[in-house]
Structure 1
Amino acid sequence: MRTLLPRYSLLLSLSFFTGLVTLLSGCVMTPNNQTSETSKDQLTLPSTSDITAVANRAADWQLAHMENFDYVRTFRDHTENPHGWIQGAFFVGLTRWAEHTSNPDYLQALVAKGEANIWKIGEKDWHADDQVIGYTYAAVAARKNDLTLVAPTQKVFKKIMANRATHSLEYTSDPTGEGEATCQRRWCWCDALFMAPPVWAAVGKLTGDPAYLNYVDEEYQATIDYLFDKQEHLFYRDGRFFERRSKNDKKIFWSRGNGWVFAGLPLLIEQIPANDPRKQKYENLFKTMAASLVKLQQPNGFWPSSLLDKDEFNVPETSGTGFMTFGLAWGINNGLLNRDDYLPAVTSGWRGLASTVNESGKLGWVQQVGASPEKILPEDTQLYGVGALLLAASEVSQL
């Protein structure tokens, strides 16, 4: 990404005044300002230009900070991996934002990323986390009508299908040391439903080979059967959380974990042919999750890190909120969710997100890398949080 920096240092010329007006137009969130009522201002969607200013400022800041990650509090080594899930999730968001705005600089950044990576996914190519960067490759390949850009990904996926893993989805330590858990050769943790299925489906759509979507449907259904709670209509992060409870004795449903699933569903649904009967199954899952999630949003616009225990970490959290806001806005835009019922949540969610982007474009209040709800600090940021914000902006701006 070194060659991108001069280009994006120039892009940081968005005026301070525009940024300040955008911030002040929302409700600046602090841990103690939650109210029991939603103000009229919170229900008024900002203008497209205001949304664009916030998203561009965040995208420009992140692209200008891709060499030294000393601003990341934890897991800097993972953040540095140009093929890994942290950068991959950011580029998913940038891909959507670049395509929506047709911004030539952002579109070029997608190409530059692929070229720098030689269009290869991660080293542990069987692992969902190392596959997510392929979403950007597929988007560039579609735009350029050049299937060679997904050929390395396609080769890996064919190998996986030819040697299907049959591990249990039980989350147990991997004695080989190749992964955190043996089951990660399958989608045994809910984050994987964002990382892998949209990429597989996109490659299938590009190549016209139904085998990829068949694989997705079989493995995704296995994960639903294992991790989806039929009472709460939410996903456990993995099997270790079935019996765990929060400090207030609530089931633990992680905001970002469910955000991964909820944001991944639109990316998957878009790749499924309209006449495929399986499409409705994923649309129904999306609508079921939406109905549950919208009830858990807090008055300040954010979703709590622990979805059923808002008091455990009573502070804003932007990565989960970004994914939820994207999903709800996409649902409205695509006719799956009633606008009157869900627009207030989208508006409040976006205003919350906008309030955490500072004048320079740095996004704050992003929970660091983890697997469950944890403490969040105002200055905490991460690339996947910016990706979530850009996903949200790509849909909210269309409302």
Structure 2
Amino acid sequence: MNHKKLKLSAIAMSLALAISACSGESPEQKTQSVDVEPKKEMKTSKDVTEQDIQKTAQRIGKSVANWQIAQFGNLSYIPESHRAKSENAKFWIQASFYIGLTRWIDETGNQRLLDFVRTVAEREQYELILERPYHADDHAIAQTYLWLAEKTGMKSAYGPTKQVFDMILSNPPQVGLDMGNSESSTGKYHLEGNCQLRWCWADALFMAPRAWAQMTKVTGDPRYLEYGDKEFWASADYLFSDEYGLFYRDSRYFDAKSDNGKPVFWGRGNGWVFAAIPMIIEELPDDHPSKERYIELYKKNAEGLMALQKEDGYWPASLMDPDKVKTPEVSGTGFITFGLAWGVNNGILTDQRSKEIVEKGWKAITEAVTDDGRVHWVQHVGKSPDPVKESDSQLYGSGAVLLAASEMLKWNK
């Protein structure tokens, strides 16, 4: 093991020690693999104060960050099919956790967590996965590198990403956005005409566009934001349903129906986009010509999502068909709650209904997190609404909870 890995292990160990007193049981001992919906009484917004919510957010965010970091090197709870990818810091699964973690650091100023993120980035030499330079999933970790560059002033933190982005600007993809048979883990990505050379699926709008906006912010070169803005709107216009106020996951779902005959709108797929829109807006200059357009899209998507929250506070894995997957699903709920809380905190959503929906969603999230910080009810890697067990957990689920907690820290009705 080299000195960088030793340093990383030491930081992770110190964080693990910080949570060891939270529980005498291992995370596995505290979970149950049941597939039934929990029956829990939900408090209304009248039962809790802003101070209560902020205090809970502090506790939840701290425990989730510490628990997830303590698991690095021991991801045995993740299915073997995606364990190796989950262990790769450059891959989107782990990168999505860092997006939530860096947001949490921004709100708390936690220097120890900042040191951890910096050590991870240094160990990875600020590089992307170069086998798929165009692929949005492999741009997700760039958001953390660029965040570090802005926070520390280190140009080296974005150098490798800039090389990749410059190559794309010099050779922009000319493919369409129809998914067809493009999505494959067996090498079809490299075939000419594959739409994944662009952002043709909903998840991509969380993974890549913000990084292009960040690159313009740290370099001052407007070309990156121009490219990201153009490609975002090409995909958003293609995938967004004005009728439902929701995003299709990709073109294969335009006419798809669930077992119950309902349109298929994936909960986490919509969560990915809805969480991304506020973070993209924050990277834009105040006078950017697309800013109002992003806000209008945000409002339409927010309205579509708020109408579909379940009584227990969660959003269903299949948004239009809650009977398809009856159990909670926390990754989608976390991303959506973050997005809605951002809208309230920034004065975009001002009605009482919106505030109550946020508090209800946040309450549901808190009930899915154990005292030691493990996030339960997280649908595993997929592209559609799939069954979820209570013991299911993943790094992007922790990232989603950290995003939500970061907004609830400053909850102000």
Matching of residue 101 in structure 1 with residue 101 in structure 2 = no
The corresponding residue for 1:238 is 250
What is the one-letter code of the residue matched to 1:149? Answer: A
What is the one-letter code of the residue matched to 2:226? Answer: N
TM-score relative to the length of structure 1:
0.92
The corresponding residue for 1:274 is 286
4+ residue runs over 6 A deviation:
none
The corresponding residue for 2:217 is 205
Query: Quick check: 308-317 or 224-233, which moved more?
Result: 224-233
TM-score relative to the length of structure 2:
0.89
> Is the 8 Å Cα contact of residues 84 and 129 (structure 1) preserved in structure 2?
yes
2:135 to 106, 115, 127: 127
* Identical-residue share of aligned pairs (%): 40
Cα shift at 1:219: 0.8
* CA RMSD of superposed structures (Å): 2.1
Structure 1: distance between partners of 2:190 and 2:327: 29
The corresponding residue for 2:341 is 329
Q: Closer, same or farther in 2 for the Cα pair 1:79/1:293, shift >3 Å?
A: same
1:297-339 CA distance string (max 9 Å, x none):
1111100000000111111100000000100011111121115
1:360 to 363, 367, 372: 372
The corresponding residue for 2:74 is 68
> Is the 8 Å Cα contact of residues 42 and 351 (structure 1) preserved in structure 2?
no
The corresponding residue for 2:54 is 48
Aligned residues: 387
Matching of residue 293 in structure 1 with residue 301 in structure 2 = no
Q: Closer, same or farther in 2 for the Cα pair 1:168/1:203, shift >3 Å?
A: same
> Is the 8 Å Cα contact of residues 12 and 70 (structure 2) preserved in structure 1?
yes
Structure 2: distance between partners of 1:34 and 1:247: 28
> Is the 8 Å Cα contact of residues 45 and 360 (structure 2) preserved in structure 1?
no
> Is the 8 Å Cα contact of residues 42 and 347 (structure 1) preserved in structure 2?
no
Cα shift at 1:42: 6.3
> Is the 8 Å Cα contact of residues 179 and 195 (structure 2) preserved in structure 1?
yes
The corresponding residue for 1:84 is 91
Give the match's secondary structure for 1:270.
helix
Structure 2: distance between partners of 1:40 and 1:221: 36
> Is the 8 Å Cα contact of residues 88 and 133 (structure 1) preserved in structure 2?
yes
Cα shift at 1:30: 6.4
What is the one-letter code of the residue matched to 2:329? Answer: E
1:103-155 CA distance string (max 9 Å, x none):
11111111011111101122323211011111111111111112221111111
Query: Quick check: 170-179 or 322-331, which moved more?
Result: 170-179
The corresponding residue for 1:172 is 180
Give the match's secondary structure for 2:226.
helix
What is the one-letter code of the residue matched to 2:401? Answer: L
Q: Closer, same or farther in 2 for the Cα pair 1:93/1:229, shift >3 Å?
A: same
1:155-178 CA distance string (max 9 Å, x none):
110100110101111113349815
Structure 2: distance between partners of 1:32 and 1:300: 9
Give the match's secondary structure for 2:296.
helix
The corresponding residue for 2:39 is 33
Matching of residue 160 in structure 1 with residue 144 in structure 2 = no
Structure 2: distance between partners of 1:107 and 1:168: 40
Query: Quick check: 388-397 or 70-79, which moved more?
Result: 70-79
Structure 1: distance between partners of 2:390 and 2:342: 28
